[in-house]
Structure 1
Amino acid sequence: MQIGKALTATTEICTASADAVEVRGKDLCRDLMGRLSFTEYFYLLLTGREPTEKQRYFLDLLLIAIAEHGIMPTVQAARMTLAADPQALQGALAAGILGCGPVLLGTSDLCGALLVEARKRVDAGEDADEVARQLAREIRESGGKAPGFGHPVHRPVDPRAERILELADQHGVSGVHVDLARRMRDAVAAVWGKPLVMNVSMTIAAVLLDLDFPPAMIKAIPLLARTGGLLAHLAEEQQNPIGFVLAGHAEAAVSYVPKT
């Protein structure tokens, strides 16, 4: 059964033969292994290009920034899953990753879409500050939350976001998207009537876009990063099991109130 248009099935990523693996047109064993870091290899896999030094540096930086944030609900889900089935490392990892969304892991992809829209309007000749204000008003009037702003823990600033901006400025990476992110911060404060923390998700998106990272793959960065963090928690869970402790505390925190 065919669904959609008839297409020739192709891939540009990888092929394997009896004695070789070719990735993006390069011999895995002879050209890539021993030469590229995993971060560089990841960029090559996603884009088909090897990163520049600045792209590699900031990709490393952003992965580190978002990989770990304590005993978050995603971590709890992963650890409780491993406690229930100690052999299912992949299942426990999947349980954590499935809980990674705009509420718990961040809104980097939504931030990217917002900045891309802002850039499109500015490139069309609109004033950058007015574009930021219009976008902020549209979000506010629709009852939405401004992606990339606010944080339940970090106040008055998100230290990760501030460090990313500091290094982006120092390394000459801050471009139109970082500028628009800063304008959005001012616009959101004006529209909401109070300053809101610009969090790490906005700065991740802004820097990635200024480094010519594919907008549709911005969410890949927090997902890859958090995979590393979850695996660290699962390694600890194997040595120091707390999954059932977490489950016990959750059960104790919820009161049963029968419907009358």
Structure 2
Amino acid sequence: MRIGKQDQAYTAIATSDADSITVRGHDLCDDLIGQIDFSDYFWLLVIGEKPTAAQRKMLDACLVSIAEHGLVPSVQAARMTLAAGPDAWQGAMAAGLLGMGSVVAGSTEVSGRYLAEVMAKADSDGTDLETAAIASLQELKAQRKKVPGLGHPQHSGGDPRANKLLAIADEQGISGRYVETLRVLAKHAPGIINRPLPINVSGAIPAVILDAGWPLEALKAVPLLARTAGLAAHLYEESLRSIGFIMSHAADQAITYDGEPSGSAAKHLA
């Protein structure tokens, strides 16, 4: 069965023959292995060209900032999966990555698309970013929706990771329209939403990496790669001293059943 277009049978990423492997126009063995750092290679793989020094520094900073944040839900899912199947690292890793949705870690993409939406609104209306940002914030308030990229339940006084990323972007001359949009939103959000809303790391990452030249369509790849490193650390530790079943037991103790009692229990209560 033919599904979708059949006239784009090409890839520009890699090819190989009996004697060589070519990646983005570079010989893998002669030009890349031992010659390029992994962050540069990641940029090359996704975008098709090597990053500048400033782009590399910004990507490295983003990856480091989001790789680890303790026993978050994705980590708990991965560790409990490995505890139940010690031979299934790939399954445990997948469990952790599958939990990176629009609320935790995957919120980077949500924030990036929101920034792009505000910018596009300003362009289409022929107005300035501040006017577009204020209108967007008022709309979110009316709909009782959260502001993507702003606020954090733990770092309510300001997310130190976000502050550091923005400082690096400024130092490297990377800060552009995305960072400007984020800062304008952060300026007006507390007064409109009526509560403190500092920039969080999921707002800073898309702003700085998009201004650095990373494509919006591949934004989710950044936190996914970063969290893979963090999950590897947790899975290695889990294999040495398991806490997966401890977390499972703690969850069982913390949650109270409030469904219908069984027939025997109902009879006893009567």
TM-score by length of 1: 0.96
Please give the secondary structure, in 1, of the residue aligned with 2:15. Answer: strand
Please give the secondary structure, in 1, of the residue aligned with 2:7. Answer: coil
Moved more, 123-132 or 58-67: 123-132
CA contact (8 A) 1:106 1:148 kept: no
Please give the secondary structure, in 1, of the residue aligned with 2:256. Answer: coil
- Provide Cα deviations, 1:67-87, integer angstroms capped at 9, x if missing partner: 000011111110011011100
1:242 Cα deviation from its structure 2 partner: 0.8
* Residue identity in the other structure for 2:141: R
- Provide Cα deviations, 1:135-164, integer angstroms capped at 9, x if missing partner: 112222223211111111112100000111
* Residue identity in the other structure for 2:22: E
CA contact (8 A) 1:151 1:197 kept: yes
- Partners of 2:116 and 2:104 in 1: CA distance: 23
1:5 Cα deviation from its structure 2 partner: 2.7
The reply on whether 1:154 has 2:155 as its aligned counterpart is yes
Report the RMSD for the aligned CA atoms in angstroms.
Answer: 1.3
CA contact (8 A) 2:12 2:24 kept: yes
Alignment match, 1:40: 40
Moved more, 109-118 or 216-225: 109-118
The reply on whether 1:80 has 2:100 as its aligned counterpart is no
Bigger Cα Rg: 2
Q: How does 1:163-174 map to 2 (within 5 A)?
A: 163-174=164-175
Please give the secondary structure, in 2, of the residue aligned with 1:10. Answer: coil
Alignment match, 2:69: 69
Alignment match, 2:145: 144
Alignment match, 2:96: 96
Q: How does 1:1-260 map to 2 (within 5 A)?
A: 1-124=1-124, 125-259=126-260
CA contact (8 A) 2:156 2:196 kept: no
Please give the secondary structure, in 2, of the residue aligned with 1:15. Answer: strand
- Partners of 1:43 and 1:18 in 2: CA distance: 27
- Provide Cα deviations, 1:52-81, integer angstroms capped at 9, x if missing partner: 111101100000000000011111110011
Q: Are residues 258 and 180 of structure 1, via their aligned partners in 2, closer, same or farther at CA, if it must alter by over 3 Å?
A: closer
Moved more, 45-54 or 186-195: 186-195
- Partners of 2:6 and 2:174 in 1: CA distance: 42
- Partners of 1:5 and 1:171 in 2: CA distance: 42
Q: Which runs of 4+ in 1 moved over 6 A?
A: none
Gaps of 5+ in 1: none
1:184 Cα deviation from its structure 2 partner: 0.6
Q: Percent of aligned positions with the same letter in both sequences?
A: 46
Please give the secondary structure, in 2, of the residue aligned with 1:22. Answer: strand
Please give the secondary structure, in 1, of the residue aligned with 2:71. Answer: coil
Q: Are residues 79 and 197 of structure 1, via their aligned partners in 2, closer, same or farther at CA, if it must alter by over 3 Å?
A: same
1:106 Cα deviation from its structure 2 partner: 4.6
* Residue identity in the other structure for 1:18: A
- Provide Cα deviations, 1:78-136, integer angstroms capped at 9, x if missing partner: 00110111000000000000001121215211111122122223345312211110111
Please give the secondary structure, in 2, of the residue aligned with 1:9. Answer: coil
- Partners of 2:103 and 2:230 in 1: CA distance: 17
- Provide Cα deviations, 1:185-215, integer angstroms capped at 9, x if missing partner: 1222122022212100111011011111101
Gaps of 5+ in 2: 262-270
